[in-house]
Amino acid sequence: MTKSAHVDTFANDRLPPRDQWPELIFELPELQFPERLNCAAELLDRWVSAGEGDRLCLQAPGLRWTYTDLQRESNRIARVLVQDLGVVPGNRVLLRGANSPWLAACWFAVMKTGAIAVATMPLLRAKELCQVIEKAEISHALCEAALGAELKQAAAHCPTLKKVCHYGNGELEALAATKLDSFATVDTAAEDCCIIAFTSGTTGLPKGTMHHHRDVMAICRCWPPHCLQPVANDVFIGSPPLAFTFGLGGLLLFPMSVGASSVLLPKASPEVLLPAIAEYRASVLFTAPTSYRAMAAQVAGNDLSSLRKCVSAGEALPAATRALWKEATGIELIDGIGATEMLHIFISHDEAHARPGATGKPVPGYRACVLGDDGQPLPAGQVGHLAVKGPTGCRYLADERQRNYVKNGWNLTGDAYSVDADGYFVYAARVDDMIISGGYNIAGPEVESALLAHPAVAECAVVGMADEERGQIVKAFVVLHAGHVGDAQMVRTLQEHAKASIAPYKYPRAIEFREQLPRTETGKLQRFRLRHV
């Protein structure tokens, strides 16, 4: 391993032992990286050096930054980090803010200093922030002032966090304004950690996933050119937070890897996204299946003529949602599955090879298979454990759960999948969401897809509930569209609808109507919260 640039060796000291790493493969020519690599130099500095600094880079309400603008602001913030806050390479810097060009500038500033960015979801509370700060022994934070209260509460219990600087209230902006707009990006090793991305923590304590500068560049050279195929004049837009690796890639790394631009909206609900697509003439959209379903009903009256690519990830894409969006817009969704542990999407497709109900095939650069409980590959059509390997992989920060995620060189994502005769990977459920009822294995998302095809259903979640006779029964929690009544007749209607479209033994024997479903900040269903009601 080439010499690390990290003065603070915390991250290197807490990597899993090499024999617990997944097998990393770099088969594509474009994945042959040099030993010294800094992703900020590759994604930002090189465009300015090449004379492309005047290209539009980031937009937000009332703000337009070129690549040169972003570089200058990042350089100034990097100087604040080093000169005023005392950051050294390898320090962990917490980033807390809604999506904005300023948050992006903070992220690049951390990369430039050789420090490690630990981005946190805007809605995290003090208790959750404490878990992240303590686990990563965070020393510094750049925080949007509007989100400062929870961090202040957390800091009172976290002695490692020495310095917090706020932006949005003029504090960081004033310090940055006094600095030169040049900064020598630290010459980091390709294997220097630059991100600790925490899992959403929907169950148990969140896990910190460690990613290197090489990992950041590897994801830019796998899924985007082979599946998304963006071009330099694309305008990206979407809803996932930059603190979520789906959002970091889709709204910052991937557009900048091709010299394109991105629109960063602090809030991006369906009601906000649709007119914003028209306003900014966005061409590439990233959001979750739930958002596509909601937007499909609101497309009328919005000019979406600029859109050419729409990406769905974050949770499984129901076939009914794919059909709704295509009917409303004429655009075939690009589906994909990724993981915080893998950094981004590793199974997907382009529009020409989309198949309803299937996620796709391994992205070039990655391999995948379905394993049985004995760790051996299963034949086509059988549901088992999804296993993946490629140029990125799981390295948990000082966490015994590493042994569960990586086995025999494979990353076991916790998803249950099958592979069809054509090599398409078909999602069944999270392994924890498989329902065993009367001896049958039932995938909750398959039942959800069946229910979502009924015109009365806006959203639904399916879980297994304990039952003395069957072990478990299938229970559905359903949100109805306005104008429909959740009564006994609707229960029977939905049950018969399910029986008509999937094997009758899979139908929901219990249905409960809800005003809304529990979700994470990134839009993922929290089914575990429904199992205990």
341-351 tens-digit pLDDT: 999 999 999 99
425 inside domain:
yes
Q: Are 442 and 321 in the same domain?
A: no
Instruction: Report the CATH number at residue 61.
Output: 3.40.50.980
Q: Are 286 and 172 in the same domain?
A: no
433, 449, 479: which is the final residue of a domain?
A: 433
Sheet holding 284-287, edge to edge: 63-66, 56-60, 261-263, 235-238, 284-287, 309-312, 334-338, 345-348, 361-362
More confident residue, 201 or 377: 377
How far, CA to CA in Å, does 298 sit from each of 13, 47, 271, 322, 493? 51, 38, 8, 15, 26
- pLDDT value for 430: 80
Q: Are 330 and 468 in the same domain?
A: no
Q: Are 163 and 69 in the same domain?
A: yes
130 inside domain:
yes
- Long-range pairs for 157-164 at CB < 8 Å and ≥24 separation? 157/126, 157/130, 158/130, 158/133, 158/134, 160/133, 160/134, 161/94, 161/133, 163/85, 163/86, 163/139, 164/140
23 inside domain:
no
How far apart are the C-alpha atoms of 478 and 475, rounded to whole Å?
10
Rg (CA), the chain: 23
- pLDDT value for 533: 66
33 inside domain:
no
Mean pLDDT over residues 408-420, rounded? 96
Lookup: tokens for 371: 């394993």
How far apart are the C-alpha atoms of 372 and 378, rounded to whole Å?
6
Q: Indicate the average pLDDT of the chain.
A: 94
Which residues of 297-408 form beta strands (DSSP E)?
309-312, 334-338, 345-348, 361-362, 367-371, 384-389, 406-407
How far apart are the C-alpha atoms of 184 and 107, rounded to whole Å?
16
Identity (one letter) of the amino acid at 76? R
- pLDDT value for 202: 45
pLDDT at 290 over 90: no
Handedness of CA 479, 481, 486, 492 (dihedral sign): negative
Render the burial of 258-287: b for 16+ CB within 10 Å, e for the rest. bbbbbbbbbebebeebbebbeebebbbbbb
- Residue 237: strand, helix, or coil: strand
Identity (one letter) of the amino acid at 319? A
153, 187, 221: which is the final residue of a domain?
A: 187
- Residue 418: strand, helix, or coil: strand
Neighbouring-strand partners of residue 471 = 467
Q: Are 170 and 66 in the same domain?
A: yes
Q: What are phi and psi of 50, to 5 degrees?
A: -85, 5
pLDDT at 378 over 90: yes
Q: Are 175 and 236 in the same domain?
A: no
Residue 350 buriedness (CB in 10 A; 0-12 / 13-18 / 19+)? middle
pLDDT at 203 over 60: no
Mean pLDDT over residues 266-271, rounded? 93
pLDDT band at 502; cut points 50, 70, 90: confident
pLDDT band at 519; cut points 50, 70, 90: confident
- pLDDT value for 201: 47
Q: Please give the angle made by the CA atoms of 400, 192 and 387, to the nearest 5 degrees.
A: 45
- pLDDT value for 1: 62
Write the CB contacts of 23 (distance below 8 Å, at least 6 apart in sequence).
Answer: 389, 393, 409, 410
192 inside domain:
no
How far apart are the C-alpha atoms of 394 and 208, rounded to whole Å?
10
Q: Are 409 and 483 in the same domain?
A: no
Q: Are 274 and 321 in the same domain?
A: yes
Q: What is the pLDDT of residues 145-196, one digit of tens each?
A: 999 999 999 999 999 999 999 999 999 999 999 999 999 999 999 999 999 9
Q: Are 426 and 454 in the same domain?
A: no
* Domain count within the chain: 3
401, 433, 465: which is the final residue of a domain?
A: 433
- pLDDT value for 466: 85
Element (H, E) at 110: helix 101-113
Q: What is the pLDDT of residues 304-330, one digit of tens each?
A: 999 999 999 888 888 889 999 999 999
223 inside domain:
yes
Lookup: tokens for 260: 């394109």
Q: Are 258 and 384 in the same domain?
A: yes
31 inside domain:
no
Domain limits at 449? 438-530
Mean pLDDT over residues 131-142, rounded? 97
- pLDDT value for 179: 98
More confident residue, 201 or 244: 244
Q: Are 387 and 456 in the same domain?
A: no
Q: Are 233 and 377 in the same domain?
A: yes
Q: Please give the angle made by the CA atoms of 203, 205 and 210, to the nearest 5 degrees.
A: 110
245 inside domain:
yes
Instruction: Report the CATH number at residue 518.
Output: 3.30.300.30
pLDDT at 451 over 80: yes
pLDDT at 59 over 90: yes
CB 334 within 8 A of CB 348: yes
- pLDDT value for 314: 80
CB 509 within 8 A of CB 473: yes
